[in-house]
A and B are shown apart, each in its own frame.
Chain A
Amino acid sequence: MILKNLRELSIFILIFTSLSCATGGAEYRGIIREIKRGELDFAFLKLKDYLKEHPESIYVPQVRFAICEYYFQRKNYRNAIEELYKYIVDYPEDKSAVFTQAILYKILLEYRDESPLLEKLRKIFFSKYLFLVFSEAKIKHYRSIMNNTYKIVEYIDRMEFYKNNELFFKIAP
């Protein structure tokens, strides 16, 4: 009986390991651990390698988002804009898309405040109907693998974006 259970357990571990190896899950978790340790630069390089080695992995959107955040945090805005733009084009309906748009908006606001892309992003932010029945605002959250928390609060007349509970920026239609 014990042997039978052990056998099943082994098969399970084998399958799990194989799967992990096939999708890069172990690598992915390794990168997350490095991020938690604060080794962002090393983590970034590994994230880049991860994309090359596991282009079909289910973690690719989170990895790409993390790369965008890294560039933003390191004030490498040129690469940040490029990666953010590609992300928005590739995952327009993903729940993280609006947060990617928010980071892009923040960069443009600070450094290219006359860009026509700002107006385009503003229209995208306010492009959906909103009905507030019992609350005065609608809130969305997102947590990235870079350990950043994002929050969007939608009011009747404005939207507020928060990063790590600090006001990122405010926008009105």
Chain B
Amino acid sequence: MSSFLRLRRNRILIVVFSLLIIAILFQATLTYILHKSRPKIENYLSNAFGYRVTLKRISFNLLEGLRLNGISAFYPNQDRQAIYVKDASINIKILPIFLGRVVVDRIKINEALLLVKREEAGYNLQIMFSDIYKKISKNPNLAFSLSTAKVNVFVKSTKLISIDSPELEKNMFVLLKNLRIRQRLEKFQFNSDIEFNYLLPEDSGISRFIKDKKIRQEAKCNIQGNIEGNNLIMNSIVLSMGKEQLLGMGINRDFIERNPYIDINFIPTTLSLDKIDFLRDNFDFRGTGFISLKFMGVLDNIKTTAAGHLDNCSLELKLSKGSSLDIRNLSAELEYADGQINIRNGYMRLNDLPLNIKLKTSVSLEPRLDLTVSSPKEFLTSQNLPLDRLMTTFNGKIGKALTGDLQISALYIRKGLNLDMQAYFKNMDFDYSDPQEKKFNADTLRLSKVSPYRTQKLTFYNLEAMVYLEKNRIGIKSLKATGYNGAVNGRIDLDIGDKSRLSFVLDGTGLDVKTLMQDVNITDKLRSGNMLIKITFDNRLKDFLKGRLYIKNGIADLDTLANIIKSPPLTNAHFDIMHTYFAISKDIIKARGVKLYSPDIRLNAFWDTDTKIYGIINLKMAASLLRQSPQFKKLLTIAKTKDPHINFTFLAGGIPEAVRVMWLKNEFKERIKEGLPPWIIRSIERDLDKITE
């Protein structure tokens, strides 16, 4: 024996070295055999699974076991693989090999890509899993059963992408990291870090509210449960988002079928909503919510429902650069089902304005929005507004612009009467995203006021305006609309503060009096004409509404006047111009003056009213017109007047609801009085009494 071998240490070295060489040779040989057998292995796997499987590289490693690179599994008739595993290693137990059995100890996948697609029977991956499992179970050579197997799978990173767009990076995906699935007999455990990502399409209406147009949320998921027959019983589900946790349990019924049934319930929990990344990063959401969550349905049609309530939350909605809606003290009942979010009995402060809110919206790229906001009664009282209700309702869509129908309604109480007032914008389009001027259009604007006694309305078309939104201020400028054969334009300002202020100025030109009066329903005495009107409104002033109007080339019914002075009927009195100006306060409508000019009549009346009237009415009528009345013809004869015009001056008094008029002395009146016998004078006065009665 050589001296080298005499040393024990050297003998050990030789043995180890020999074993090492054998191992390397074994590894190399096996790798070579496996590599050569790759097509056969691919074939075998494809037949065993029933799905085409390709393999880029297969090797053997003494430490890691079988190494596989570039494994692809294809769904039938598709070029793109449904499953792609970049790099995996399968640890196989050594001893059972000598007994002719392959026992997998552990599967480790470094990186994988799963492309999820909805097929007719369900999701492609679930279909493949179901088919493969059933095939393997029946294969006598493989003798595999999940209920008796021991599974240990670790996936470092796998991405599940839902294929909607051919550009993979634009699709929604879920990233699972450090995914571990362990199963021993009937017990199983699932752990993973989950990251949900969704890149909103460029033209999506809600993308402007989301940072980088990306919805992203991270969570950790831990599931423990049992396999009972064909069912996965999830005894414990823990979903963690930051420090917040949702606890639940559920069942995956017939999980080996192509479209199993999922039923998962999470226990109602109070969550700090600022711990939810998506809400915090995009809306600066703060506050708590008490929420219960449920998932139920077949795998390819899982219905998600949630219910709960929000408490004292705050968030910010960025409309555009420099313009946002600041929402505070939001408390509401919340419901989500069938893709619809429902908020009821809500209260919030929107840019410091207290509002009750009710909302329904859909979870889609251009969500439908049904929103009702109303001012609490206490707020209306604190602002000294004589309103019992102030409410805004929007029904439409929110996309790049807000489109739909908008209604603003108020119940105005005036002198004990309920006046139901509404402004209805049909087919409005509001470009809220513009940082400076936000365009507002509407096909129709209908204003109405309904009292127990009458209905009044105004309808305008093709409304255009520019809206400026600041924190406590809304300005509407360059307001234009058409209607009644004419046009209106103006501006509106609303300041919201300790004492809110609403003011507006409106000018109307070329308005047709006949159709306008039919709608406005103030008087049927104005028969026709062309109107020019200017109205100013300021809720802080005592006379909050003032106006001045001119009517050209019109016809008016002046029969009341004709009856008083016994002139010929003036049912259709033509006039060149009529001018009146008026003011409305909380208690009274003051029509301050009326001027009416026509070839035969000149009326100039001025009066002031507070609770009572004081005024003068000057009336000049053509004698030729007056002679058309037989009674007046006689009076003119008695008066022996040859003037082409007769002047009347009246004094007005009384109250607006019952005017008193007195014919003041003048030459014409004195001549008539002298010429008429007393009994005729008394008869005239009795006739007048009958008219007033």
Interface residues of A (CB under 8 A from B): 123, 126-136, 138, 154, 156-157, 172-173
Contacts and interface: CB of A to CB of B under 8 A. Distances in A.
A173 B661 CA distance: 14
A118 B691 CA distance: 28
Given A172-B612, A173-B611, A173-B612, A132 B654 contact: no
B692 A129 contact: yes
Interface stretch (B264-272, B446-454, B622-630, B681-689): B681-689
Nearest to A129: B692
Contact of B658 (A128, A132, A134, A135): A128
A123 B611 CA distance: 11
B160 to A, nearest CB: 78
A134 B692 contact: no
B654 A126 contact: yes
Given A156-B662, A173-B611, A131 B688 contact: yes
B659 interface: yes
Contacts of A127: 657-658
A123 B691 CA distance: 20
Interface string B609-640: 00111100000000000000000000000000
23 contacts: A123-B655, A126-B654, A127-B658, A129-B659, A129-B660, A130-B661, A131-B662, A133-B663, A133-B684, A133-B685, A133-B688, A134-B669, A134-B673, A134-B684, A136-B662, A156-B654, A156-B660, A157-B614, A157-B653, A157-B660, A173-B613, A173-B653, A173-B655
Contacts of B660: 126, 129-132, 154, 156-157
B481 to A, nearest CB: 39
A156 B658 contact: no
In this complex, the member of A133, A138, A156 whose beta carbon has the largest number of chain B beta carbons within 10 angstroms is A133
A130 B684 contact: no
Given A129-B660, A131-B688, A156 B653 contact: yes
B685 A134 contact: yes
Nearest to A127: B658
Nearest to A136: B662
B691 A131 contact: yes
B661 A131 contact: yes
Interface SS, A side: loop
Given A123-B655, A131-B692, 4 more contacts: A126-B658, A129-B658, A134-B669, A156-B660
Contacts of B487: none
Given A133-B685, A173-B612, A128 B661 contact: no
A120 to B, nearest CB: 13
Interface string B169-209: 00000000000000000000000000000000000000000
B651 interface: yes
Contacts of B247: none
Contacts of A132: 660-663
B556 interface: no
A135 B664 CA distance: 10
Nearest to B566: A133
A133 B614 CA distance: 17
A133 B662 CA distance: 6
Contacts of B685: 133-135, 138
Contacts of A138: 685, 689
B564 interface: yes
A136 B669 CA distance: 13
Contacts of B653: 156-157, 173
Interface string B122-156: 00000000000000000000000000000000000
Nearest to A132: B662
A80 to B, nearest CB: 28
Nearest to A134: B681
B661 to A, nearest CB: 5
A128 B612 contact: no
Contacts of A135: 685
A128 B653 CA distance: 12
A16 B674 CA distance: 49
A131 B650 CA distance: 10
Contacts of B689: 138
A154 B692 CA distance: 14
B665 to A, nearest CB: 9
Interface string B522-542: 000000000000000000000
A170 B611 CA distance: 18
Contacts of B688: 131, 133
Nearest to B560: A129
B654 A173 contact: yes
Contacts of A156: 651-654, 660-662
Nearest to B669: A134
A154 B662 CA distance: 11
Contacts of B613: 173
A126 B655 contact: yes
A133 B567 CA distance: 13
A157 B662 CA distance: 10
Nearest to A173: B612
A11 to B, nearest CB: 41
Nearest to B657: A127
A133 to B, nearest CB: 5
B388 to A, nearest CB: 23
Contact of A128 (B614, B651, B692): B692
Contacts of A126: 654-655, 658, 660
A131 B681 CA distance: 13
Given A135-B685, A136-B662, A130 B655 contact: no
Interface in B440-458: none
A154 B660 CA distance: 10
A130 B612 contact: no
Nearest to B659: A129
A129 B693 CA distance: 8
In this complex, the member of A123, A131, A135, A138 whose beta carbon has the largest number of chain B beta carbons within 10 angstroms is A131
A27 to B, nearest CB: 35
A150 B673 CA distance: 29
Contacts of A123: 655
Contacts of A173: 611-613, 653-655
Contacts of B684: 133-134
B416 to A, nearest CB: 13
Nearest to A137: B662
A132 B684 CA distance: 10
A129 B563 CA distance: 13
Nearest to B613: A173
Nearest to B678: A134
Contacts of B661: 129-132, 156
A127 B660 CA distance: 10
Contacts of A136: 662
Nearest to B676: A134
A158 B691 CA distance: 21
Contacts of B655: 123, 126, 173
Nearest to B614: A157
A173 B610 CA distance: 11
A173 B612 CA distance: 6
